[in-house]
């Protein structure tokens, strides 16, 4: 390919939608480092645009920050990563991989919320029709990870995943765990097998 054509392709201007997405993603990355103290100058420099470009996309920095925080709660790469789980692995291995993906997601979200001073996500993050539809899609993907092994469970696949996600959420939070985070293996073993010994230990007698 001639050099002039390569330069022309590299210089292709972004569409308004692409520019908006680029600014939102850039802002989200900076929020994880600087919190709400991030400036429009920092955003513009990181995005490789003039500072005035930001205000042709949004009306204020606060609007861009809100859009970035909302983006953080969208499934995004979570969907891709769940789809990459090797379904030919044993159930335990599949669940550990799923749990690891969820844990990384939760921990990144906790860190972001701490940085921006959030106690809980905004209602629209979970209650909008789009959010509900995406959540159902992610649930279906996770049920697909269990696959035919759902017949081995004593509860429905949805209930099993509900408990797995709850323990992953709690076990990934630094305050809930008093700083002793659970590993994906510990979480999966607890949900799959519980904490009883396979053979009860003999009771001590006086």
Residues 187 and 122 in one domain: yes
Q: pLDDT, tens digit, for every residue of 59-105?
A: 999 999 999 999 998 888 899 999 999 999 999 999 999 999 999 99
Closest residue by Cα to residue 156 from 169, 143, 137, 144: 143
Return d(Cα 23, Cα 18) in angstroms, integer.
9
Domain around 125: 74-193
pLDDT of residue 130: 81
pLDDT of residue 121: 75
pLDDT at 141 exceeding the cut of 90: yes
State mean pLDDT over 42-71. 94
Q: How far apart are the first and last CA of the chain?
A: 87
> What Rg do the C-alpha atoms of the chain give, in angstroms?
22
Asked if 110 and 172 count as a contact pair (C-beta separation under 8 A), the reply is: yes
Strands (E), the chain: none
Kindly list the distances between the CA atom of residue 206 and the CA atoms of 1, 55, 203, in Å, as whole numbers in the listed order: 87, 78, 10
In a domain, residue 203? The reply is no
Percent of residues, the chain, with pLDDT higher than 90? 73
Residues 61 and 125 in one domain: no
Q: pLDDT, tens digit, for every residue of 117-138?
A: 987 777 666 777 887 888 899 9
pLDDT of residue 33: 94
pLDDT of residue 161: 97
Q: pLDDT, tens digit, for every residue of 11-35?
A: 467 888 899 999 999 999 999 999 9
Least confident span in 94-103, 152-161, 166-175, 190-199: 190-199
2 — pLDDT class (breaks 50, 70, 90) = low
Kindly list the distances between the CA atom of residue 124 and the CA atoms of 67, 115, 130, 152, in Å, as whole numbers in the listed order: 12, 20, 9, 37
pLDDT of residue 74: 86
**Residue 204 burial by Cβ neighbours in a 10 Å radius (0-12, 13-18, 19+):** exposed
In a domain, residue 155? The reply is yes
Return d(Cα 34, Cα 41) in angstroms, integer.
13
In a domain, residue 200? The reply is no
- What is the tally of structural domains in the chain? 2
Residues 103 and 176 in one domain: yes
**pLDDT, greater one: 128 or 115:** 115
Predicted TM-score of the model (pTM): 0.81
pLDDT of residue 89: 97
Q: Three-state SS for 114?
A: helix
Residues 64 and 106 in one domain: no
Percent of residues, the chain, with pLDDT higher than 70? 89
In a domain, residue 206? The reply is no
Residues 119 and 101 in one domain: yes
Return d(Cα 100, Cα 90) in angstroms, integer.
16
Closest residue by Cα to residue 190 from 160, 155, 152: 160
pLDDT of residue 8: 44
Domain CATH number, residue 64: 1.10.10.60
Its sign, for the CA torsion 136, 142, 144, 146, is negative
């Amino acid at each position: 390919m001639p050099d002039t054509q390569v330069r022309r392709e590299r210089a292709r201007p972004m569409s308004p939608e692409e520019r908006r997405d680029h600014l939102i993603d850039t802002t989200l990355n900076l929020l994880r480092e600087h919190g709400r103290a991030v400036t429009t100058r920092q955003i513009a420099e990181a995005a490789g645009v003039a500072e005035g470009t930001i205000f042709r996309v949004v009306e204020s920095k606060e609007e861009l920050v809100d859009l970035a925080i909302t983006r953080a709660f969208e499934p995004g790469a979570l969907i891709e990563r769940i789809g990459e789980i090797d379904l030919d692995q044993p159930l335990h291995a599949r669940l550990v991989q799923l749990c690891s993906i969820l844990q990384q997601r939760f921990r990144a979200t906790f860190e972001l919320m701490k940085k921006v001073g959030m106690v809980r996500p905004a209602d629209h993050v979970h209650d909008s029709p789009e959010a509900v539809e995406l959540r159902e899609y992610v649930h279906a993907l996770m049920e697909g990870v269990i696959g035919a092994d759902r017949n081995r469970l004593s509860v429905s696949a949805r209930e099993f995943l509900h408990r797995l996600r709850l323990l992953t959420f709690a076990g990934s939070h630094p305050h809930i765990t008093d700083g002793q985070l659970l590993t994906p293996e510990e979480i999966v073993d607890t949900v799959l097998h519980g904490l009883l010994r396979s053979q009860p230990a003999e009771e001590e007698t006086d």
